[in-house]
Amino acid sequence: MIKVNTITKHFIVYIIGVFLINSTGFFLIPIYTKYLSTSEFGILEIVNRSLDIANIIFSAGLGITSLSFYSSEQEQSKKNAAISTATLTIIISSLLGMIIFQALAIPLSVYFFGTSQFDFLFRLVGVIIVVELLSIVPLAYLQACMNSTLYVTVSVCRFAIIIGFSILFVAVLNLKLIGVIAANIIGHALFTIFLLIFTLRKTGIYFDKYIFNKMISFGIPFIPGGLFLFVLNNGDRFFIQKFLDSSTVGVYSLSYKISTIAMVFVLGPFLKIWGPYMFKLKEVDDNKLFGNFFLYLIFAYCITALPLALFSKEIIKIIANENYLEGYKIIPFVLVAYLFWSAAAFFDSSFYITRKTFYKPYIMGFATILAFVLYWFLIPIYGISGGAYATTICFGAFSLLTYFISSKIFLVAYPLNKALYMLVLGIIIYILSIVLPESNLIITILTKAALVVIYPILIVVTGILDYRELYRLKGLIDLKE
């Protein structure tokens, strides 16, 4: 028997942790926007996104792979072998990534910025590759063990250390870009060392060749899939850098970060606890359970995203200067895009529980080709808005295709009509907020706040999400062992 209130408890722990972690992360934005120019902020974004590419390639999907293998194995010895084998594998791959980045530092700097003077940033990124990747499997292990408290505790400590050193290096010592990256290296290194010691003491250190081969077969498809998804999430920055400049990348990136708040605070914690449970829910002879959890996810996302859309301009004025204000107009589009992405992330459950992940690269490949075409044509014409338009269209196509294919593999009764109603109602309220006559600041804020409150009330009053469904979250669901 699995209690949904147990799931809710872990969700709350994760969401508190994610809130603390990302609140401290967003706390650094005013520091960056004050001590870094928009151009430097844009350069930092390009460097960080290059790091993301490296992490996708050299992680080889071992995070979700180790979680999947640990959760599906019955014997504890096999569970431990999966974690230990994945950890040893990622040690080798991360060191390889660092070596390659050291060799490519100058070419990367010249390609992106037209000069070799930023090669030191890419060399430092090579170090970050190691300290970040080595934490992936231990974090998956904590998720699989449902040790949400420890997961959140060490994560919060890591980001607290990063914030402390960021303030010292950037605000006090004025080290600018090198200070930002150095602070991340220190924070991630201390965090990773602790996690490695904790995990390997629990699992032991040994390498299982059979498990390794199975993991590689399972995880390798995540590399092209991850790269495709990277293009959908971040490819627009590189096109903006090419067609416009680093300052515009900085403006776009800040607004994009704001747009991801809903996804980070809702989808992030949800997936942390959903991973282990979705394998057990497969055994239930009532796929409506999947549909119910899907609807709760969409509802939580929408009530978080709507205030971000309505108060987008005010948020930028608070955390940054006037140079970044232009970016507020992309926030509503990116929020809708990540609603589509959140839905697709849930639809992915069918691939994971059936272990048919080989479909994912084809789905994301199609969306990536579409993204390249739209970035190429829309960004030169519409600037940063073109990037937001392209992202929304591509995520929508990605979500639809994921739904249709996943339904063929593992049919789920998703309440798509209710989810669509939530989206349309949110868009109507947003449009209403921008067409209302302008007034003084206090009245404007109160009006928008009222619209935010009205939204969930309308959802419940119209029966899209009634009290019985909400109450069900607190009940018990019997699962076949």
**Over the stretch 77-97, which tens digit does the pLDDT of each residue have?**
888 888 999 999 999 999 999
Q: Span 12-38, mean pLDDT?
A: 75
The 3-class SS string of 345-406 reads: HHHCHHHHHHCCHHHHHHHHHHHHHHHHHHHHHHHHHHCHHHHHHHHHHHHHHHHHHHHHHH
pLDDT > 70? residue 3: no
Give yes or no for residue 480 having a pLDDT over 50: no
Is 251 in contact with 330 (CB distance < 8 Å)?
no
Where residue 277 falls among pLDDT bands split at 50, 70, 90?
A: low
Least confident of 183-197, 306-320, 355-369: 355-369
Which of 31-35, 119-123, 139-143 is modeled with the greatest confidence? 119-123
Give the span between the Cα atoms of 340 and 397, in whole angstroms: 9
Query: Is residue 99 within 8 Å of 93, Cβ to Cβ?
Result: no
pLDDT (average), residues 109-134? 93
Measured from the Cβ of residue 170, the count of other Cβ atoms closer than 10 Å reads 23
Checking if the pLDDT of 404 tops 50, the result is: yes
Count the Cβ atoms, other than its own, within 10 Å of residue 148.
22
Which one is predicted more confidently, 275 or 5? 275
The answer for 176, left when phi > 0, alpha when psi is -120 to 50, beta otherwise, is: left
Predicted confidence band at 474 (pLDDT cuts at 50, 70, 90)? Answer: very low
Pick from 39-53, 169-183, 216-230, 238-252: least confident:
216-230
d(C-alpha 435, C-alpha 448), whole Å: 12
CA distance 158 to 220: 29
- Which residue is listed with tokens 């005010």? 314
Across 47-62, average pLDDT? 91
Instruction: Say if residues 357 and 326 touch (Cβ distance below 8 Å).
Output: no
Mean pLDDT of the chain: 85
**What is the reported pLDDT for 123?**
95
- pLDDT of 174 reads 92
Residue 412: pLDDT over 80: no
Quick one: average pLDDT of 429-436? Answer: 90
The residue that leads in pLDDT, 362 or 328, is 328
Rounded Cα distance between 454 and 187, Å, is 42
CA geometry: angle at 261 spanning 259 and 267, to 5°?
115
* pLDDT(479) > 60: no
pLDDT band at 15 (very low <50, low <70, confident <90, very high): low
